[in-house]
Amino acid sequence: QSALTQPASVSGSPGQSITISCTGTSSDVGGYNYVSWYQQHPGKAPKLMIYEVSNRPSGVPDRFSGSKSGNTASLTISGLQAEDEADYYCSSYTSSSTVEVFGGGTKLTVL
Amino acid sequence: EVQLVQSGAEVKKPGESLKISCKGSGYSFTSYWIGWVRQMPGKGLEWMGIIYPGDSDTRYSPSFQGQVTISADKSISTAYLQWSSLKASDTAMYYCARHEVGEGSDYWGQGTLVTVSS
């Protein structure tokens, strides 16, 4: 069961937009609309930012949005803020185990 | 208020056994899955497995099948993660999370740091 593929790092300036990709297969990302995204600040527990590809939990700013095309899901953060600097992980349901699988994580740096 | 409170940090020797806990409150503990996630030092998140306390249905990630045991006691709204023989490579932070299959994990425990060293 391989982890989903994310870029190791992305960066952007305050106010800009960035997109983090998450590539899987037809057995996970491509086969189900069950992709979630998590934000993790250093020393903190992860926080759910997006579920079911594009839904935001209550309290998550609408600057965060999710989408999917084929086997690749994406998280877009618009109007970057300093507090967005964190690690981001995608997670997907997978038919190969019925336990979800995470991506390797992406470190977002706000310049 | 939904809360998941995990047991405290542990320092163990290789070969020892360990059981850590995750106590849920503020919601119907038997109506949601609880997942366990490992994060090794400086590394990413890994799903270990999930349990549905309502009927104890338990599923493991292939990488963790046979390596750990996940259980729950619904009478005290507590889920557990246990090892029968720890290895140095089990040194990590372990998180529990309230999980809905396909909908993500919306509440997380504070994490339990497990250190295994001779």
Count of other CB atoms within 10 angstroms of residue A65: 19
Q: Locate B101 and state its tokens.
A: 């299959």
How far does CA A68 lie from the centroid of its chain?
Answer: 11
pLDDT digits (tens, 9 = 90+) for A24-81: 999 999 999 999 999 999 999 999 999 999 999 999 999 999 999 999 999 999 999 9
Q: Phi, psi (5° rounding) for residue A25?
A: -135, 180
B87 contacts: CB under 8 Å, gap ≥ 6: B14, B116
Which residues is A102 bridged to in the sheet? A91
CA distance A36 to chain B (A): 6
Single out the residue of B73, B80, B116 nearest to residue B96, CA to CA. B80
Q: Locate B63 and state its tokens.
A: 């990488």
Q: How does pLDDT run along chain B (118 residues), one tens digit per residue? A: 999 999 999 999 999 999 999 999 999 999 999 999 999 999 999 999 999 999 999 999 999 999 999 999 999 999 999 999 999 999 999 999 999 987 899 999 999 999 999 9
Tell me if residue B16 falls in helix, strand or coil: coil
CA distance A89 to chain B (A): 8
> Does residue B95 belong to the interface with chain A, where contact is any CB pair within 8 Å?
yes
By C-alpha distance, the chain B residue nearest A49 is B106
Select from A33, A38, A99 the residue whose CB has the most chain B CBs within 10 Å, as the one to mutate to test that interface.
A99
**Binary contact (A46, B110; C-beta < 8 A):** no
Nearest Cβ partner of A46 from B45, B60, B103? B45
